[in-house]
């Protein structure tokens, strides 16, 4: 293990000057564009070899199963050019009450299989027997089937996946506090190939998905959802977007246009189906244009039916 100098983004970013923050944004745009340029025909993590050692399937998030991974544990892998791709590493599969075995976590050959694995906890095509739980994720996938064909990025091929850190948060980016330069990215255990619209998610500070689409309090959070944003904040976000577009236009487009698909995905990751229900109401009310695309089901009737299921 090598030592990487710097302080965590979360610990020093607010103390930087505007020019130093610009430097951090520029460096991150470059790093993300370079990572995004690697593509694969399958969705999954990178393997060093055909074994599945503990360092290749981290369980550091789990409080339920801390046993070491056996190198003989059943899993699948595919070879794609110079890449060997194995099961998806994701916190959703690692912190549930029942840890998903590697054999159920990919690699996946289609985007739909990838999403079903999150909806049905590692078992594409296998629905939960509990109707209350099952219906929430079935409805999310129904909405996905309506939204996905309208996804406007022509290069967002269903058969192409892009490399992503998958946990690129302010806790995992290191900065030089004297210059704002990015000195390193840490915690790569969940890295792998994901759908382009998911791989294009920004680091936490620059992530404005919630402001643009899925804010819980978006009605009173200020113009366009940016409640307490300063002029410097707006200019910095614009600088980051400009740098991103200059380096990789498709990454930029997938981020801007993939927000609705990411909202659906994040809800597929919810352990509690009741959260899906509370998200659907503002989603259908504020973000769905029924004049151009009918909502795929009667939302109010579905919620009433779920109340009855809950009472039973």
Determine the pLDDT at residue 59. 53
Give domain status of residue 2, yes or no.
no
Question: Are 200 and 206 a contacting pair, CB within 8 Å?
Answer: no
pLDDT in tens, 227-264: 556 788 888 989 999 999 999 999 999 998 898 999 99
For 232-256, give one letter per residue: b (16+ CB within 10 A) or e: eeeebbebbbebbbebbebbbbbbb
The ranges of the chain with pLDDT < 70 are 1-2, 49-74, 95-98, 122-130, 154-159, 212-229, 312
**Quick one: 96 exposed, middle or buried, by C-beta within 10 A (0-12, 13-18, 19+)?**
middle
Residues 83 and 203 reside in one and the same domain = no
Give domain status of residue 193, yes or no.
yes
Determine the pLDDT at residue 157. 59
Q: Could you say which of 83, 107, 131 is where a domain stops?
A: 107
Residue numbers of the domain that contains 20: 7-41+108-311
- If you write DSSP's letter for every residue of 105-147 in order, what string do you get? S--BSSHHHHHHHHHTTS-TT---S-HHHHHHHHHHHHHHHHH
- Nearest residue to 173 via CA among 19, 4, 1, 2: 4
Residues 167 and 225 reside in one and the same domain = yes
Q: Could you say which of 71, 91, 107 is where a domain stops?
A: 107
Residues 133 and 259 reside in one and the same domain = yes
Determine the pLDDT at residue 305. 86
- For the chain, the residue count is 312
Residues 96 and 208 reside in one and the same domain = no
Give domain status of residue 138, yes or no.
yes
Give domain status of residue 1, yes or no.
no
Give domain status of residue 165, yes or no.
yes
What is the domain-level CATH number for residue 214?
Answer: 3.90.1200.10
Provide the strand spans (E) within the chain: 7-8, 39-40, 44-46, 78-80, 83-86, 161-164, 173-175, 182-185, 192-195
Give domain status of residue 222, yes or no.
yes
Euclidean distance between CA atoms 179 and 200, whole angstroms: 26
Residues 16 and 133 reside in one and the same domain = yes
Determine the pLDDT at residue 264. 93
Number of domains the chain is built from: 2
Residues 195 and 266 reside in one and the same domain = yes
Residues 212 and 271 reside in one and the same domain = yes
Give domain status of residue 267, yes or no.
yes
Give domain status of residue 195, yes or no.
yes
Residues 224 and 133 reside in one and the same domain = yes
Determine the pLDDT at residue 159. 62
Residues 53 and 146 reside in one and the same domain = no
Determine the pLDDT at residue 189. 83
Residues 241 and 101 reside in one and the same domain = no
pTM score over 0.95: no
- The Cβ of residue 73 has, within 10 Å, a number of other Cβ atoms equal to 15
Both tokens of 238, joined, read 């614009």
Q: Could you say which of 86, 107, 128 is where a domain stops?
A: 107
Residues 176 and 55 reside in one and the same domain = no
Residues 173 and 233 reside in one and the same domain = yes
């Amino acid at each position: 293990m090598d030592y990487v100098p710097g302080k965590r983004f979360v610990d020093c970013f607010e103390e930087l000057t505007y020019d130093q923050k610009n430097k951090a944004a520029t460096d991150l745009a470059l790093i993300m564009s370079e990572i995004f340029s690697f593509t694969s025909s399958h969705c999954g993590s990178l393997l060093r070899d055909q074994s599945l050692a503990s360092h290749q399937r981290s369980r550091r998030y789990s409080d339920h199963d801390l046993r070491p991974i056996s190198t003989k544990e059943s899993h699948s892998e595919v070879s794609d050019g110079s890449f060997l791709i194995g099961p998806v590493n994701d916190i959703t599969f690692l912190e549930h009450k029942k840890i998903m075995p590697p054999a159920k976590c990919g690699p996946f050959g289609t985007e739909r299989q990838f999403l079903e694995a999150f909806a049905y906890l590692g078992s594409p095509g296998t629905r939960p027997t509990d109707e209350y739980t099952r219906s929430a994720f079935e409805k999310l996938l129904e909405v996905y089937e309506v939204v996905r064909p309208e996804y406007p990025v022509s290069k967002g091929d269903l058969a192409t996946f892009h490399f992503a850190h998958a946990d690129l948060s302010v806790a995992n980016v290191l900065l030089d506090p004297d210059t704002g330069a990015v000195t390193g990215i840490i915690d790569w255990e969940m890295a792998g190939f994901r759908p382009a619209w998911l791989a294009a998610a920004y680091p936490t500070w620059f992530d404005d998905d919630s402001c643009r689409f899925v804010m819980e309090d978006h009605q009173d959070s200020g113009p366009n959802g940016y409640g307490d944003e300063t002029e410097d904040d707006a200019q910095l976000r614009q600088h980051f977007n400009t740098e991103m577009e200059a380096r990789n236009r498709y990454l930029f487009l997938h981020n801007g246009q993939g927000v609705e698909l990411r909202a659906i995905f994040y809800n597929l990751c919810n352990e509690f189906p009741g959260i899906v229900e509370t998200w659907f109401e503002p989603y259908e009310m504020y973000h769905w244009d029924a004049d151009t695309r009918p909502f795929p089901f009667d939302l109010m009737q579905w919620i009433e039916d779920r109340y009855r299921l809950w009472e039973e």
